């Protein structure tokens, strides 16, 4: 299990070399989006309309951050449960999304889409939102301001710590990790 530094946007080559358990430090731009924002993006895609952000090569963080304290770019920014985005994730991967950050398991359809479209699912540590926020250097709302903390934000991150939970080969850290302790 390596520690790998990656700059966004990500390429097929970036994600194909990742394996479950790899610790990754992301630097560059990532976007926040939760269920309400995903539903709106999905509706735009279904209607054949342009999205408010470029998805190709991007990483989406499933987070609804707390309000920023004075002098800070963002408040506590811990991951939300990812399965709520499972209905929308395959379509976004088809459009070029390369990474998703959240917590918890992903459904079989999402894991299959990661293999097909070369994308990965990163886990961020739940309960460590204040710590994770330290890696977010700048945050600005770029779409769906009416959703409040669930608006899409463009976040500039530096060494944002994540772990590869599902890789492009269909491996699952939660499944493999549990096997080790069953023996």
| Residue numbers annotated as active site | 38
SS3 assignment for the chain: CCEEEEECCCCHHHHHCCCCCCEEEEEEEEEECCHHHHHHHHHHHHCCCCCCCCCCCCEEECECCCCCCCCCCCCCCCECEHHHHCCCHHHHHHCCCCEEEEECCCCHHHHHHHHHHCCEEEECCCCCHHHHHCCEEEEEEEECHHHHHHCEEEEEEEEEEEEEEECCCCCEHHHHHHHHHHC
């Amino acid at each position: 299990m390596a520690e790998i530094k990656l700059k966004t946007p990500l390429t097929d080559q970036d994600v194909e070399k990742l394996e479950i358990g790899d610790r990754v430090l992301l630097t560059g731009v990532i976007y926040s989006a939760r269920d309400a924002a995903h539903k709106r993006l999905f509706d735009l895609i279904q209607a054949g309309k342009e999205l408010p952000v470029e998805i190709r090569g991007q990483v989406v963080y499933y987070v609804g951050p707390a309000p920023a304290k004075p002098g800070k770019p963002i408040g506590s920014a811990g991951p939300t449960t990812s399965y709520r985005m499972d209905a929308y994730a395959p379509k976004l991967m088809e459009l070029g999304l390369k990474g998703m950050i959240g917590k918890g398991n992903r459904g079989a359809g999402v894991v299959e889409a990661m293999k097909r479209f070369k994308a990965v699912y990163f886990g961020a540590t739940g309960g460590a939102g204040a710590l994770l926020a330290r890696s977010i250097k700048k945050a600005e709302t770029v779409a769906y301001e009416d959703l409040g903390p669930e608006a899409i934000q463009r976040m500039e991150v530096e060494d944002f710590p994540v772990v590869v939970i599902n890789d492009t080969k269909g491996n699952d850290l939660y499944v493999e990790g549990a096997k080790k302790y069953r023996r």
